Amino acid sequence: MSDPDCIFCKIVAGQIPAKKVHEDEELLVFHDIHPWAPVHVLVIPKLHVATLYDVGPEHEALLGRMLALAPRLMRQLGVEDGFRTVVNTGRNGGQEVFHLHMHVLGGPRPWARG
């Protein structure tokens, strides 16, 4: 359910601070500490799931909620003109934190990364 060595589990548990923008029973959203876009938040499940490879049928509703939350958050954060959603998966996918997360990136381009 949670991994004591996982940095995002520690954020969920309140052991590491984060600039939260949304929290509900299943999901947490906070600002990325090294943003690559004017608005850059991470949507994570509170449940520890390491990567998209570890997702099963029992996670389908959760994944749907993560994606459906993105446009609501972007509007709340003043992003009305488009955004990108990115899920890096595994080493070759550029994943650095092994707790499933969706980057949501918005604001005027060009961006430094992504």
Q: Name the residues that contact Zn ion, by CB under 5 A.
A: 3, 6, 8-9, 48, 99
Question: For the chain, how far is it from start to end, CA to CA, in angstroms?
Answer: 30
Question: Which 10-69 residues touch ligand AMP, going by CB under 6 A?
Answer: 16, 18, 30, 32-34, 42
Asked if residue 3 lies in contact with residue 99, where contact means CB atoms within 8 angstroms, the answer is: yes
Residue 96 interface partner, choices ligand AMP, Zn ion, none, CB cut-off 5-8 Å depending on type: ligand AMP
Nearer to ligand AMP, 80 or 96 (CB): 96
Place of tokens 């500490």: 33
Catalytic residue selected from 40, 48, 101, 103: 101
Nearer to Zn ion, 27 or 37 (CB): 27
Task: Clarify whether 101 is annotated catalytic.
Answer: yes
Element (H, E) at 58: none
For the annotated catalytic residues, the residue numbers are: 101
